[in-house]
Structure 1
Amino acid sequence: ILNLVDNALLYNHTGGSVTLRVESTRKQAQLTVRDTGKGILPEHLPHIFERFYRGDPAHGRTERGSSGLGLSIVDWIVRAHGGSIAVESQVGRGSTFTVTFPLAPA
Structure 2
Amino acid sequence: MLRNIVDNAVRHASRRIGLSLYERDGWAVLHVDDDGPGVPVADRSRVFERFVRLDDARVNVDGGSGGLGLAIVAEVVSAHGGTVQIGDAPSGGARVTVRIPSLTA
Q: TM-score range by the shorter chain?
A: 0.7 to 0.9
Contact 2:19 2:32 in 1 (8 A): yes
Distance 1:4 1:65, change over 3 A: closer
Partner of residue 40, structure 2: 41
Partner of residue 21, structure 1: 20
- Residue identity in the other structure for 2:40: L
Distance 1:83 1:65, change over 3 A: closer
Partner of residue 73, structure 1: 72
Distance 1:105 1:24, change over 3 A: closer
CA distance in 2, matches of 1:87, 1:65: 18
CA distance in 1, matches of 2:62, 2:97: 27
CA distance in 2, matches of 1:89, 1:21: 15
Contact 1:54 1:66 in 2 (8 A): no
Distance 1:78 1:48, change over 3 A: same
Unmatched 5+ stretches in structure 1: none
Higher helix share: 2
Between the two proteins, the alignment pairs up a number of residues equal to 101
Deviations 1:42-63 (A, max 9, x none): 332231000111121xx11233
CA distance in 1, matches of 2:23, 2:84: 15
* TM value normalised by structure 1: 0.83
Cα RMSD of the aligned pairs, angstroms, is: 2.1
* TM value normalised by structure 2: 0.83
The percent identity for this pair of structures is 36
The residue correspondences of 1:1-106 to structure 2 (distance < 5 A) are: 1-13=2-14, 16-56=15-55, 59-60=56-57, 61-64=60-63, 66-89=65-88, 93-104=92-103
